[in-house]
Each structure stands twice: as structure tokens, then as C-alpha cells.
Structure 1
């Protein structure tokens, strides 16, 4: 067991955490008994209590079972943006003893068809703006029926801030008998059968991003979800009095666990945004006195670049945390100076249904994954020989813990290849290159597949990006490798300039880089962009930029 970090373990916290043997739906039911009239969701002016949330979950679950024939273990696709309907649908699917398949709403027809076919989903719950992407799938996938939701049903009008177009759009009518209106399902008056689910039943099948091949469904049980949602609550010492700003997409495991399932288990309030908008975020923090904000680092970068930041009161925030990508050190320092808060980073994967590592709240380190959380054994090994490595040696991070997936859906060989036995314990291979320091804090170096080989020197793009963020004109940066006749590969940086960056030249960025990093790491090519391509969860899509560069040389 890796224990180097125990010396710096947060005071008053246990090192092991008993995981509830109840279901995720049970969390909502218990919270509703405790706080029936407490606000669960704030959604563009509308407040929904736990009592209303619980009632609508059960009505939808009854419809799924009695009208659509959803049975225990069936996969149901959830394909929509952040909304009350997303939460209601998620818990209704679980109440029907079925399995939620959360899908990125940015996916288009061919991608959606792949997921439907791969998991054999016959029923989907969908936002109305996405119908055009999924309706054609009736013809060549297992899909039989869709429940369609209009976000405007749950939002107020005449607000003093911008509402996303998908939320403002009026309800549409669809002719197909296979497309059922959300309200029709809720008003059908059908009661769900008694639940037979156990903590070890499959309940959620999120798909990996597919950056190293076709997306794979990660098999998670109620117990694996309970592990990280409870771990997040205890580690951050959150309480039912907390009010969280929910900006992460709920299809993504960090948003799912820390912006939805954790707060519902605890009984706190979720102030929900469908799409990221820094103006709206600042207004909501100010108006509802939000105390916590779990995000992705690009959101923090954007928020702190707001020219009128000081016009808003954000002193209610007691904790700002996130994962997905390290927060650049320069941005973390600016956050500390403005708010007095240190950014608390964590680390996890779809395969671990959010965090395996988190920084101690009272002793975080910048650009750091944190320490292994409750009951997690993490090691760093040579990716080829699997020999365990020591402090400050770079290798692949492997993890053993209660949150690790049970396997990839219908991918027996890939499941087998993703695990390795060490000291009689089964460890999951993350595919991430990292290291840990003398105090047992882990740091990400890069993805195994992303390394740039420049004249025989290994260049990790994330390291170069983190240095570029220290330049006063850089708002966002993404580094890739491009072919070079002499070096084999060379380093190219795509950069979005901030409001101070007007007039900054490519040559200036390169010259500055030579002063701040080793010569072999310096970007030889710099290209300015208005914006970088982002995933639905806010991650910079480096692979998309890589593919565009590769197309140029074909």
C-alpha cells in the first residue's frame, strides 16, 4: 500500500471510508425525507424542492417501466444538456433498476448511433434540440422510443441575464409516435414497481472519450458511484448548507458526481447552468451566495480574465476545486490573490467515476493531482516493464480502489489488458504519465500517447503549456507535435491571447519561451487562434488540432 502521503493527511479525517451498501436512488429518497421543502435545484430563475424532484423521478420511472417496458439491467441513453430534466431522468432510470448511459450532447448522428448499438439501448431520454441527431437512428440501431424534453418548461423568462438558446427555445411538437413528450410521461400516473436493485448492480455506463480508439463503456455499479461521491463530500467537508455552482456538464463524471450526485446525497443546493457563460456565472455566485464551485481549469482561466470581475461579489465562495486538466500556476496565483482561495485539484478518470486523488484542502499544491484518496493504492511504474518507480521518477500511474470500473462493456480483451497484478492486488492502468514527490503528492506529466519526440528528446506538451500560461498575454494554450524534416517532430503552440495580448507576435512568444524552458521544449511554431476547440466537458481538444496538422502534410 502506498502510504508516503499519510504524514500530510488532513487532520480529523479517516484514512479509510465505509461505502454505503445502498443505491444511488436511495440517496435521493433519504434526502427527500430529511429535507422535503429544501431547494434542490435553481435553474434560470426556477427553484425546485427535493419533494418535487423526488415526485417527478418516481412518475417518470413508472412510465419507463409500465409504458416503455424498461426492465432491470436495461440500458437507457441520457442525451441532453444540463437541466432539471437531466437529473430527473438520471434518477428515474435508476429507480426503474435500469442503467444510465450518459452521452455528450455535442455528439452527432453517427456517434450517437455507435453508442446506441454498442450498449443495445432501446429507449433514450433526449433534449429537444438533439432530436435531429438521434431520430435517424431509429432506422439502423436498437432504438425504439424517445422521451423528449424542452428545457424551457423549467426555466423562467424575463431574467436580467442571458439564457442559452437551447433553454429559451419554446417546446416543439414531434409527429412520430415513437417520440413521447416529457409532460405526457409525467402525467400518465403510472407507479413504479418496488426496486430490486442492490449496491453491486450495474447502474451507469459512461463512455471514455475515445482518444485512444473507439469509445468504451465503463461498467460502474451503485457502489463505485457511492465511493467517489461520498469521498468528495467527506474530503471537502461539505455540508447540507452548501450552495454549489453547477457548471460542469453532467454527462462527464466530475460533473455527475460533484455537481449532482454528491449534492443530492448531502441535501445541498445546486445552482445549475446549461452552458458556461462567465457573465452569468458571476451573477449567480453573487445572487445565490454560492459557497462551492467544482469546475474545469479552463473555466477558471475564463472567469479570471473577465474585465469587470471586481464588480461582482464572490466572497461567499469557500472552496474552488476541479480536475480534468492542471490549472496553470500563474492562474492559480492570480486566483489566490483575488479570492484568498487556493485551487484544489483532483484527478480521476471515466474508469474511476471521478477522483482517485485529491489535494488536501488545507495543504494543496499547484499543478498537482493531489494524494491518493480514501482506500486508494496508487503507484508509478515503468509503462513497458511495469517495474515500480520511486519519487520524482516519471512513469505510468496505476490505481487500485473501490471506485475502479468493473470492466469495459463487451470488451473482454481490452478489460484484461487494462489491469495488472502487483503484490496480489489488481491495479488499473490509467495511461497517464506522472510522478510523485517525496511527500507522496502526485503530478501529471502527460498522456502516454501524447509525447513529442524532438531529436530524441521527450517533450511532454502539458509541461510546455503550463510554462506558456505564465506569459502575461496568454489566455489559453495547446501544444502538439508536428513533422519536422530535421528533428523528426517539433513543437507547435496554438495560443489564444488575452485582453492584454494585443500586438503580441509569434516571434515574441518564441523568444520568451527560450528564456523559460529548455531549448528542445521551445515551440518552434506559434499560431494564434480566436479560440481553441473544446470538448463538452471543457477540455481542450488537442487531438483535433493534431489531426488538422496531419491533414496538411498528406
Structure 2
């Protein structure tokens, strides 16, 4: 969506008959949402799911007016991935005990419903790691950390694997990327990972690809009024950030690449 919004060859009239725009796979950055809205006058509704849930589990949707009593049904909350689809349920649990947590409390996101996969082909041990039976129902363990609000909207914080422990504090790498993305120039992309550090336990490493100069990015990050822990200590300009065939960042390869750059 960033490319559509910034490409001068894409005219707003090309999207005039489009009824709804939905984003998934990665967290929707607020700057992309706002840019798309300003350029095409279209909202982007963020959704969520996984291949193991075939694949959509929730989405935001336009607000509607209920004709019976003319009250507004809220379908969107910015920052959330929406409400579960019919037949789908979410549960937030403690990642160790799997005890259900209270409304608004962050924990492991579980997805339940008839669309949950039976298992990975010829991989029973791997299946047992992500499919849990709780009170007679099967749940898919997403590996994502988040919470459900009082209206049932799901908010994702980050992947449990995407946290770094810096000076004893847990820092979300996704949150770091979100802060820095706001000062990124066009035709550039970044990813942040963490590597071992003798002083702080772990250190944040930022990889930058595209047209933006590394020193300019460092300068802008330095000026950001954010928690100093959210500012990477190491920066590298790379030809390409490691990605999977789906286009998502290959997090395992990213960490290995960062280690090799700092060895």
C-alpha cells in the first residue's frame, strides 16, 4: 500500500470503484494508512490470521447503522486487527501456564474455530507444539503477544520471538521499527533485530535498504523523542533485507545476517 500511495503513476480514479481495502500479513503502519487515505480517500482495514487458520481469523470493517434502533455498530478501532470472523474465537493466555488472562491484559494469542488446521503433514511433534486442547476445544498457538479489549477487538503487541532484553527491560522490536519508520525516506525500508551484547545482554541492530543515506537516518533517529532503549546501537546499510518468498522479512536470516555484519 505504501508503493501505491507514493507512486505518482497511480491515479486516485483507478480506485474509485473499490469498495473495501484490507491489509494483513504485517502490521499496518499508521503513516501508510494516513497516506493511502489522503491520496485515494479509502480506509485500509487491518486484519489478522495465519496459514494454520486458513488463513483469516479477524478483520476490521466499516461502521454500520443497525436499522432496528438506529445505533451505530463500531466495526473499526485503529491499531487493532478487528473482531473475530463468525465461527472464530480468540483467547489470551499466560504463555507458560495457558491460564486465561483478563480483558486488556497482554498474553499469548490463541485462535479457535472450525477452520483450525488438523496438523502439519508428517510432523506430529511440531503439531503438538502449536495445537493445544483446552477444555475439550482445540486452539492454535500463534506465538503472538496481544490483548482483547472490552469490545472484543484484538490488539497485537508483537511476536514473542520479537522481543529483546535490554538492560533487564523487554523491548518490542516491532515497536522500535514503528517509531523509526516515521522518519524513513521514500523508496527505503528497514528491519531491526537483536544480537548478544556483553554489556546490555542484547543490542539492537538496524538494517537499512534503499535510497536513504545511513547517516541521515542515524541523525533523525537521534532526534526522536522516544525511550533511549528504542534507539538501535548498530546500523548497517545493506543491498537487501532478507525476505521469504511471501515478501515478509525472514527473521531468522535477519538475525544471522546482523550477527555476520557485527562479527
TM-score under structure 1 length normalisation: 0.42
CA distance in 1 between partners of 2:255 and 2:37 (Å): 34
Determine the structure 2 residue equivalent to 1:404: 116
The Cα of 1:552 is off from its aligned counterpart by: 4.5
Determine the structure 1 residue equivalent to 2:208: 495
CA distance in 2 between partners of 1:424 and 1:503 (Å): 53
Number of aligned residue pairs: give it.
251
The DSSP-based 3-state class of the residue aligned with 1:505 is: helix
Determine the structure 2 residue equivalent to 1:508: 219
Determine the structure 1 residue equivalent to 2:2: 301
The DSSP-based 3-state class of the residue aligned with 2:218 is: helix
Contact 1:464 1:521 in 2 (8 A): yes
The DSSP-based 3-state class of the residue aligned with 2:14 is: coil
Contact 1:398 1:430 in 2 (8 A): yes
Gaps of 5+ in 2: 64-74
Contact 1:509 1:526 in 2 (8 A): no
**2:170 is the counterpart of 1:480:** no
Determine the structure 1 residue equivalent to 2:39: 338
Contact 2:208 2:214 in 1 (8 A): no
Cα 1:375–1:408 change in 2 (3 A) is same
CA distance in 1 between partners of 2:104 and 2:231 (Å): 23
**2:236 is the counterpart of 1:527:** yes
Cα 1:453–1:346 change in 2 (3 A) is same
The Cα of 1:407 is off from its aligned counterpart by: 1.4
Contact 1:478 1:542 in 2 (8 A): no
Gaps of 5+ in 1: 1-299
The Cα of 1:530 is off from its aligned counterpart by: 4.8
Larger strand proportion of the pair: 2
Determine the structure 2 residue equivalent to 1:537: 246
1:445 counterpart (133, 146, 157): 157
**2:179 is the counterpart of 1:467:** yes
Cα 1:497–1:361 change in 2 (3 A) is farther
2:88 counterpart (358, 367, 376): 376
TM-score under structure 2 length normalisation: 0.85
Cα 1:336–1:428 change in 2 (3 A) is same
Cα deviations by residue, 1:101-147 (Å, 9 ceiling, x for unpaired): xxxxxxxxxxxxxxxxxxxxxxxxxxxxxxxxxxxxxxxxxxxxxxx
Larger RCO, structure (CA 8 Å, separation 6 or more): 1
Contact 1:332 1:366 in 2 (8 A): no
Cα deviations by residue, 1:141-189 (Å, 9 ceiling, x for unpaired): xxxxxxxxxxxxxxxxxxxxxxxxxxxxxxxxxxxxxxxxxxxxxxxxx
The Cα of 1:497 is off from its aligned counterpart by: 5.3
Cα 1:481–1:384 change in 2 (3 A) is same
Cα deviations by residue, 1:480-506 (Å, 9 ceiling, x for unpaired): 0022221111112223456xx568624
**2:125 is the counterpart of 1:424:** no
Cα deviations by residue, 1:324-344 (Å, 9 ceiling, x for unpaired): 101101110111111121111
Contact 1:359 1:371 in 2 (8 A): yes
CA distance in 2 between partners of 1:428 and 1:358 (Å): 18
CA distance in 1 between partners of 2:238 and 2:13 (Å): 29
The DSSP-based 3-state class of the residue aligned with 1:313 is: helix
The Cα of 1:525 is off from its aligned counterpart by: 2.2
Larger helix proportion of the pair: 1
Cα 1:497–1:436 change in 2 (3 A) is farther
**2:127 is the counterpart of 1:415:** yes
Contact 2:180 2:221 in 1 (8 A): no
Q: Greater CA radius of gyration, 1 or 2? A: 1
CA distance in 2 between partners of 1:382 and 1:542 (Å): 24
Cα 1:545–1:472 change in 2 (3 A) is closer
Determine the structure 1 residue equivalent to 2:70: none
